[in-house]
Chain A
Amino acid sequence: MSRRIRWGVRLALLVGLFAYFAIAGRAFLSTGNLYTLGEGFAMIGIIAIGVAVTMLAGEFDLSIGAIASTGGMIALMAGEDSTWVGVAAGAAFGVTVGLLNGVLVGYLRMQSMVVTVGMLVAVSGLGAELTDGSGEPLDNFDLSAGVVEAIGEVFSIRSLTTLAVIGVVGLVLTWTRIGRDVRAVGSDRRAAAVNGVSEPRVMITVFVFSGLCGGVGGSLLAYSLAYAQADFSGGLNILLPAVTAAVIGGVGLAGGVGTARGVFFGSVTMTVLSNGLGSVAASAAVISLSTGGLLLLIVFLDAQEKALGRRLSERRLLRTRAGP
């Protein structure tokens, strides 16, 4: 599939969903619901961009959802009087875990799936201990009100933060050396090493970044809800829509492929889908089925495309060998 067709399909999906819910849903296009969409996007988007950056480098951060839920607890515990202190604490927690992930993957050369799933278990365990297995409430409602306050009717601090993060990632990926290095390591590790790219440095960068996204996203979410819930699913409920958003946005599962713009579109699509299903009063079953089904479809297409590419390059190879 050419790039233009891919973008066409993606836009059609988004516009189609949007149009359907605008017609079928109750009050889908009201200002209030646009604000709600923004709040949904804030969480999906910031987690999606974090995990997408690790995917770009050919790795995967399974622990980001757990970092978000435990980071949210830490934020509310440290920042009972100040949102800044809380978010900083949540962010510092995310960066620490990310650094550990990065060192294990980059310097000790372990598989990122293994490292991050272990980190997920460890971080969830910490979260359970911090809240005694229940949850952490925020008593200072003024702080919560500040975080959820609407800016320009439909935005909030949270959605603007996510937009800013995605924008910055877009700039960094296109214009800076580290951005090009991340992509280079993700598409061809050996070639990147030959060209002097430091793989450990790239690994530290991407995992610290995804930890940061998890920490900040989780902290802001916890403030907006004035509550951080103990999470026994290991953050999978947070991870699933975000990963789906990233792959809908064209981030490849094999590394090296993807853009911040794509992640933005994917996140908006996922937000519209889950919010819209709510507005047409779909059951939990329909939401699980459609999110999972959509992700499965994309995995399938991605694999088919890879297989097609392999066949094409084999044919090309045969032709060169048989050449004149």
Chain B
Amino acid sequence: MTARLSGVDVQSLVFRGVVLAVAVIGSIAVDGFADVDNLRALLSSIAIVGIVALGLVFVTISGNLFILSIGATMAVSSVIFAALVGDLGIVPALVATIGAGAVIGLVQGVIVGRFSGDPIITTIAVGSVILGFGQVFAGGDTIRAGRDVSVLRSDVLDVIPIEGLVFIVMAVVAYVLLTWSRFGAFVRLTGENREAARIAGVPVVGCTIVCYAIAAAAAALAAAFLSARAGQGRLDVGIGMDFDAIAVLLVAGVAVTGGRGSVVNVALGALFIGMVANILAVLGEDYATQLFARGIIVLLALIAAGVAGRLRKDQS
């Protein structure tokens, strides 16, 4: 047990060291990286994927790997937000969008938690169904936001982008929930050993359902921000978002078998991938190169996690 814990700590320390190193080297060596305006853009760009990843981490820690319907959930949510905001106003529309996301997550949680559907195949299938509904709803068009939503892309107190603030608040809340609350303990136990948790009296089905609802609600919130950024809702909003968020979790080294995983590392993972992309952008590289760099980072993280896991097993 000690060996395993120290193994995890070493992995986590190395990761944090690398993040710090990139931040320091970026500030010193890359002209324009440490500018206030660029840092603001950086925060705003990592906030969206960060919010999604912080939701997804609940599902992963509860032992159900990933969700592959995040892109579809975001697409539909962006359309819902744009369609509702004109009549309802910004805050009610936000609440309704997050609620719709929670319902989408809830359905998947029921299928996986109550009826033991395979988590990956279930969410791929649900993603396709949601997108179908979205196409019926939007009729293949973009939906214009019915009012001025620029407040959702403004800076709070002229300093910090609003989605960046939401991301930071969410990180704190997720940390507190998973580390100190009863619910967090339940989620960890469910992820560690579902059967043992059930016997110990943990409401595993309820836990699973809530985790899926949180993840999908977070995706819906992120989609509302994207919707506000573009001033419209579109079904191509979430394309690739599934893998953006999964890449963050893989790089952060969240145990994908469930049970453990650090919220701090997830937030740092989003920061890390965002920083690398941002530095490449400042250096004049295009989006394709940023994706390529991310691919290499994920590949290295995978190999490192594999080797570390093997060493841990050999130790114990």
Complex CA–CA separation, A247 to B307 (angstroms): 33
Contacts of B102-159 to chain A: CB distance below 8 A: 111, 115-118, 120-122, 124-133, 135-136, 140
B interface size (C-beta, 8 A)? 55
Residue from the set B66, B124, B242, B298 with the largest chain A CB neighbour count within 10 Å = B124
Complex CA–CA separation, A123 to B292 (angstroms): 8
Q: Specify which of A111, A117, A289, A307 is in contact with B129 (CB 8 Å cutoff).
A: A289
A118–B135 touching, CB < 8 Å: no
Complex CA–CA separation, A93 to B223 (angstroms): 35
Indicate whether B305 reaches chain A with its CB closer than 8 angstroms. Answer: yes
Indicate whether B9 reaches chain A with its CB closer than 8 angstroms. Answer: no
Contacts of A223-241 to chain B: CB distance below 8 A: 230, 232-234, 236, 239-240
Indicate whether A172 reaches chain B with its CB closer than 8 angstroms. Answer: no
Complex CA–CA separation, A118 to B291 (angstroms): 13
A131–B288 touching, CB < 8 Å: yes
A118–B302 touching, CB < 8 Å: yes
B243–A234 touching, CB < 8 Å: yes
Complex CA–CA separation, A299 to B116 (angstroms): 9
B288–A234 touching, CB < 8 Å: no
Complex CA–CA separation, A232 to B242 (angstroms): 11
Given A104-B303, A115-B302, A234-B240, A125–B291 Cβ distance below 8 Å? yes
Complex CA–CA separation, A156 to B103 (angstroms): 46
Indicate whether A291 reaches chain B with its CB closer than 8 angstroms. Answer: yes
Complex CA–CA separation, A247 to B136 (angstroms): 27
Indicate whether A126 reaches chain B with its CB closer than 8 angstroms. Answer: yes
Residues of A with C-beta under 8 A to B306: 104, 108-110, 115
Residue from the set B132, B247, B307 with the largest chain A CB neighbour count within 10 Å = B132
Selecting from A83-91, A163-171, A260-268, A279-287, the interface stretch reads: A279-287
B287–A285 touching, CB < 8 Å: no
A236–B129 touching, CB < 8 Å: no
Given A118-B302, A128-B291, A300-B117, A111–B256 Cβ distance below 8 Å? yes
Contacts of B264-306 to chain A: CB distance below 8 A: 286-289, 291-296, 298-299, 301-303, 305-306
B309–A236 touching, CB < 8 Å: no
A114–B250 touching, CB < 8 Å: yes
Q: Specify which of B111, B240, B246 is in contact with A233 (CB 8 Å cutoff).
A: B240
A126–B295 touching, CB < 8 Å: yes
A110–B250 touching, CB < 8 Å: no
A118–B257 touching, CB < 8 Å: no
Q: Specify which of A110, A232, A293 is in contact with B305 (CB 8 Å cutoff).
A: A110
Q: Specify which of A104, A111, A295 is in contact with B121 (CB 8 Å cutoff).
A: A295
- Minimum distance in angstroms from A155 CB to a CB of chain B: 30
Q: Which residue of A lies closest to B239 (CB)?
A: A232
Given A60-B120, A288-B131, A117–B246 Cβ distance below 8 Å? yes
Residues of B with C-beta under 8 A to A303: 115-118
Q: Specify which of A109, A121, A306 is in contact with B313 (CB 8 Å cutoff).
A: A109
Given A104-B306, A113-B256, A292–B291 Cβ distance below 8 Å? no
Indicate whether A243 reaches chain B with its CB closer than 8 angstroms. Answer: yes
Residues of B with C-beta under 8 A to A286: 132
Q: Which residue of B lies closest to A120 (CB)?
A: B243
B292–A129 touching, CB < 8 Å: yes
A129–B291 touching, CB < 8 Å: yes
Proximity bits, A240-264, B CB within 8 Å = 1, else 0: 1001100100000100000000000
Complex CA–CA separation, A182 to B130 (angstroms): 35
Residues of A with C-beta under 8 A to B68: 236
B291–A104 touching, CB < 8 Å: no
Proximity bits, A38-82, B CB within 8 Å = 1, else 0: 000000000000000000000010100000000000000000000
Complex CA–CA separation, A263 to B311 (angstroms): 39
In the assembled complex, 19 residue pairs joining A and B whose CB atoms fall closer than 8 Å, in A order, are: A104-B306, A108-B307, A115-B302, A118-B246, A118-B298, A118-B299, A121-B243, A121-B294, A121-B295, A122-B295, A124-B295, A125-B298, A132-B288, A230-B288, A284-B140, A285-B133, A288-B131, A290-B132, A303-B118
Question: Assuming A109-B306, A122-B298, what are 19 further A-B pairs, CB within 8 angstroms?
Answer: A60-B120, A118-B299, A119-B302, A121-B247, A121-B294, A124-B291, A129-B291, A129-B292, A133-B291, A234-B240, A243-B121, A285-B132, A285-B133, A289-B132, A292-B128, A292-B131, A295-B125, A299-B125, A307-B115
